Amino acid sequence: MIKRDELRQQVRTTVSGLIADGIEAGVQVCAYLGGEVLIDEVAGLADRQTGRPLTADTPIFSFSTGKALTATAVHVLAERGQIDYDLRIADVWPEYGRHGKEGTTLRHALTHSAGVPALPADITRADLTDWAGMCALLADATPLWTPGTAYGYHAWTFGYLIGETVRRATGRTLTQVLADDVAGPLGVAGELFLAVPDADLPRLATLEDRNLAAAMAAASQFMVNFDRIAPPGVRPDRALGNDPGVLRAEIGAVGTMTARAAAKMLAALIGEVDGVRLISPERLREATTLAMTGDDWAVGFPAPRGLGYQLQEDFFGASGNGGSIAYAFPEIGLTVAATKNLLSAGAEDPMEDLRKLIRGAVS
């Protein structure tokens, strides 16, 4: 039997210590077990310059953890029969069906096997906010491999490829689907965003850098194709994550969220939460079945993929550069999410340690 009070105290002590020691500025950690809140801890400041406190409902830009939001929106549409994983993208987006991409499917996009992860070397943050321009860039691209035969992390292109397919097929943007079909029913409408409304921008936490910029510079040296998927002008960093233009734009590969909203969303994928279950058990199995393995073209090592989610050991979900995570352990009914605003990587990122602490307490 899990000792809930003891675990909560352990998490509270850990998070408070991270703040007190200056390792973190502000942290949110939330976990659901069996559809009910297990952990919901918040500590620190949303903005150290002004002294504004971080609260449970303060959204934090969380980089690629946003891919879990995009994938979830697609699975909810599929559950309702409004889109199909094997839809040929060119059937709804004719301009895309060129240069060997005629047979590319939504499934290929979800599994990072569409063959279009690369971006121009001179791309800028402003380019990322130009939806039409980014979609035109993808439509004109020649795939680096025959779609479906290999995979490579589509760090930025993931969102445009999936989002434009959804828009053409359903008449709705990913932002609308997430708001209407996911965040709204779950009661987290102000805490789960792909594109942040202007009125909500002042509520967001302010990002700072601990060692992420240095880690990204190192990644460009040892990851074989890192600079092709994340050229210097669009590498994850505090400037990008604080940019109002980026925050307001629907990009689809990144998102802004609270830990409790992310944990609740995943809990509603693997079970029922407050009377809401987003997808069926059968669809959950399909979405989280290993689809791509072997070495990832972009990073040079294995990064197992399901339909839009990372797969690791007994859990699925997404993580973001800088320290955000959102994971679900379906066999035990557990979800864990953590967000933070002092961006770090490697040994200086303790969010994975929090995930292990919570997972280890639940048998």
pLDDT at 68: 98
State pTM to two decimals: 0.98
How far apart are the C-alpha atoms of 241 and 193, rounded to whole Å? 13
Q: Indicate whether 163 pLDDT > 70.
A: yes
In this prediction, residue 1 carries a pLDDT of: 62
Side-chain half-sphere CA neighbours of 13 within 13 A: 7
**pLDDT grade for 187, boundaries at 50, 70 and 90:** very high
Of the residues 62, 64, 113, 324, which is catalytic?
64
- Per the CB < 8 A criterion, the answer to whether 129 and 249 are in contact is yes
Of residues 3 and 316, more confidence is placed in 316
The Cα 328–Cα 26 span in angstroms is: 23
Angle at 317 between CA 312 and CA 323, to 5 degrees: 90
Q: What is the pLDDT of residue 303?
A: 96
Min mean pLDDT across 110-114, 126-130, 220-224, 335-339 is at 220-224
What is the Cα–Cα distance from 164 to 123, expressed in whole angstroms?
A: 20
Alpha-helical segments (H) within 21-120: 66-79, 89-92, 106-110
**Encoded tokens for 353:** 């340690």
**Do the Cβ atoms of 33 and 333 come closer than 8 Å?**
yes
What mean pLDDT is predicted for residues 78-88? 98
DSSP string, 43-68: EEEEETTTTEEP-TT--EE-GGGHHH
What mean pLDDT is predicted for residues 297-321?
96
Question: Which residues on neighbouring strands pair with residue 315, listed in sequence order?
Answer: 312
16 is catalytic: no
Give the pLDDT confidence of 288-305 residue by residue, as tens digits. 999 999 999 999 999 999
pLDDT, residue 346, reads 83
